[in-house]
Structure 1
Amino acid sequence: MTPVSVSQSRASFYLKLLIAFHILIIIASNYLVQLPIDLFGFHSTWGAFSFPFIFLATDLTVRLIGKTEARSVITRAMIPALIASYIVSVLFHEGRFNGLAELGEFNSFVFRIAFASFAAYVLGQLLDVQVFDRMRRNYVQWWIAPAASAIVGQALDTVAFFSIAFWRSSNPFMAAHWGEIALVDYVIKLAVSLLLFVPMYGVALNAITRIMKRRDAVLATQAD
Structure 2
Amino acid sequence: MTPSLVPPSRVPACLALLVAFHVAIIIASNYLVQLPITLLGFHSTWGAFSFPFIFLATDLTVRLIGKAQARQVIARVMVPALIASYIVSVLFHEGRFNGLGALGAFDVFVFRIAFASFAAYVLGQLLDVQVFDRIRRSNMPWWVAPSASAVLGQALDTIAFFGIAFWRSSNVFMADNWVEIALVDYAIKLTVSLLLFVPLYGVALNAIIRAMKRRTAAQISLA
**Same fold per superposition (TM over 0.5):** yes
- Number of residue pairs the alignment of both structures matches: 221
How far did residue 221 of structure 1 move?
1.3
Aligned residue in 2 for 1:107: 107
2:123 and 2:157 in contact (8 A); partners too: yes
Asked if 2 retains the 8 angstrom alpha-carbon contact of 1:4 and 1:209, the reply is no
CA-CA distance at 1:9 after TM superposition: 2.1
- Equivalent residues of 1:121, 1:157 under 8 A apart: yes
Is the Cα contact below 8 Å between 2:74 and 2:122 reproduced in 1?
A: yes
Alignment check: 8 A CA contact 2:36 2:46 kept: yes
**2:126 and 2:144 mapped to 1: Cα distance?**
18
Which residue number corresponds to residue 15 of structure 1?
A: 15
Contact 2:4 2:66 in 1 (8 A): no
Corresponding residue for residue 46 of structure 1: 46
Distance apart, 1:5 and its partner CA: 2.8
In structure 2, stretches of 5+ residues that fail to align are none
Who is 1:26 aligned against? 26
- The answer (yes or no) to whether the contact 1:135–1:145 under 8 Å persists in 2 is yes
Match of 2:91 in 1: 91
**For structure 1, which runs of at least 5 residues remain unmatched after alignment?**
none
1:1-224 aligned at under 5 Å gives the runs 5-223=5-223
Q: Distance in 1 between matches of 2:159 and 2:99?
A: 32
Tell me the percent identity.
77
Superposition RMSD in Å: 0.9
d(CA) in 2 for partners of 1:21, 1:173: 31
| Structure 1 residues 97-147: Cα deviation after superposition (integer angstroms, max 9, x where no partner) | 000000010000000000000000000000000000001001341100000
The aligned amino acid for 2:127 is: L
Structure 2 distance, partners of 1:170, 1:5, is: 48
- 1: CA distance, partners of 2:4 / 2:213: 7
The one-character-per-residue Cα deviations of 1:167-196 (angstroms, maximum 9, x if unpaired) are 000000000000000000000000000000
Q: Kindly report structure 1 stretches of 4+ aligned residues shifted beyond 3 Å.
A: none
